[in-house]
Structure 1
């Protein structure tokens, strides 16, 4: 009997540096690559926001089709289905006589719950669900400490991990693939099918995101070129905007690291390299914190107390904030850019969060939920971890005094140009 492995793609939509895919190809006679569009990811949250707004939804759909095209180019395809993975995967296992299922492990509660449901359903069929890790720069087993002993302070985490751990090389992308015989590989829903409308391009936006591994790799090379040009002019400000492809797994953090590292020998690029590396380390840190503490990050009081909430006016103030109608120019500009493009800089995110929490006295979880809907680069650990930190309820309680709204505004909009550009 031939060995067939079902490869369940989730937020890992790439061929390069994909250990799960490489091992599945090596250990099987044929594989069945599968992507399942789970409508639960597009529903409404208990906060009255959407789990996935139209901008990120479009990016997801583009990323899935990008993976299908990449697989076709090496002789394969991607089976696209819609429904609950815990229902569909066992059906596929029986229909195609699958011997094992591979997938990447997630860290947030809803994603891990779905994995558990799939695992339980497969257990009844005596089929193993094998977990892989592929979302971080550093592998869990290469850390200099067990998960339970990871330092809560980011600076200590960074210092120890850079001193005592290694970043492994990337797995090569397969150049040939043998897939199971499938009559109907399925079609992908459109935005309209998901009850979402396409976002009109805002002429003020200086960048447009397109999903998929190929687009992510092209953008990575553009970032490297921008680093070279910035090094010549000694302009050290660089916003890479790689985070959207990293969030979908269309780009591997290790791929980004090793490509950017090639620039080390170029004069004046060290600061830019360190800036991008810092972003990758923060991504790792929050994922590992979620592994360590579970779902505490989703609780309003988190690891402390969220402070004053103006309960009587909370919904009204929240609506003003998300609709860019607070009357505070910089914050309204930030929210307009977010609503129109799905992307704002890190300092803009902090500015909007500080104003919502401290000035409007709205619970931070409403802001985090709204960012979940709107951000094109949303991932649970970074989003909820960062919001908890700004709210002063993160796991590192010493970071409470780090954030300063006035300082942020001076850095974000020193001459008022940003507020003028994005005036709603």
Structure 2
């Protein structure tokens, strides 16, 4: 295995992490990362935050010298047309790369609306550096800006727009933003925070069509309202980029490429990691995607080691964050329907702590402007200890001390 040749398809966080994990696990054969994006592999989270469109938004995952030092070849600006498991990865230009093992880290694409006018100019999505640059250019023109989708990405973009002097309108089909990710009391605090800062939130409806002559001029909603729009950003979820896997006959499902706990697909010569992987994980009620950047890094590392012959499972609790208005939401673990919400008694729109218990055990937590507390909980959320709800709700409880006590007892 150590002398096998590996091709990693996708210069994502998962792909880069997998490539370096291959080397650390003893792979001495050729390791090549291929991606159609011509940029040195970069972090995706800054693309939707205050750095949007600026030089800081393209924050390299690693310096270029790291790849050379590790003997990892980068083929950037090269599209993959087909994978031939156990033999080759075929590029769109006709080049064939020998690949005893292939690691697919192709990630996801932004879902687009299939409504009339969706192909008008200035109806944008945000997923990569090119999207970020296009949106930044539109923001320099000014408003009106309509953001379709009240998830983390949509709320981040609304905050960025306000920073740049544009009052955005966010359209969300649910009754509150983030509802489904968090429970109603937390979603109400998020809603209040954005509303108080000047974000217009149009809730409980969706887009019927976009109207304009060449470029978008109006968003027509299902309830009949019409919103003026010079720019629209659609943030209504993502879809797996699984075409290569489907063409190769690998097992897939609605979430992506089906893998086992080590990242192996239905073909033992092909692996998948990161957002593209439909994986089993202790935090999930059933196999599925974990779409966060931190999870992609960790899953990629585990899958890279496994592909090199060192079976490794990614079981850490998922961690995600979202920067909005100069402070950060941080979330650990995954809330399931039916979990018990415990909201810190002093929580408000500017600072909050929320916890979720399952059978009395701590399985997830979310904080705003509460980095020290969330940091203290990272180990115990994964261990899912039993915690009395009144202790969590009481602002006087020192969570760092509580975490130490629970770890010592566990």
| Same fold, judged at TM 0.5 (above) | no
From the two aligned structures, give the one with the greater strand fraction.
2
From the two aligned structures, give the one with the greater helix fraction.
1
Q: TM-score, normalised by structure 2?
A: 0.29
Greater RCO between the two (CA within 8 Å, min separation 6)?
1
Q: TM-score, normalised by structure 1?
A: 0.28
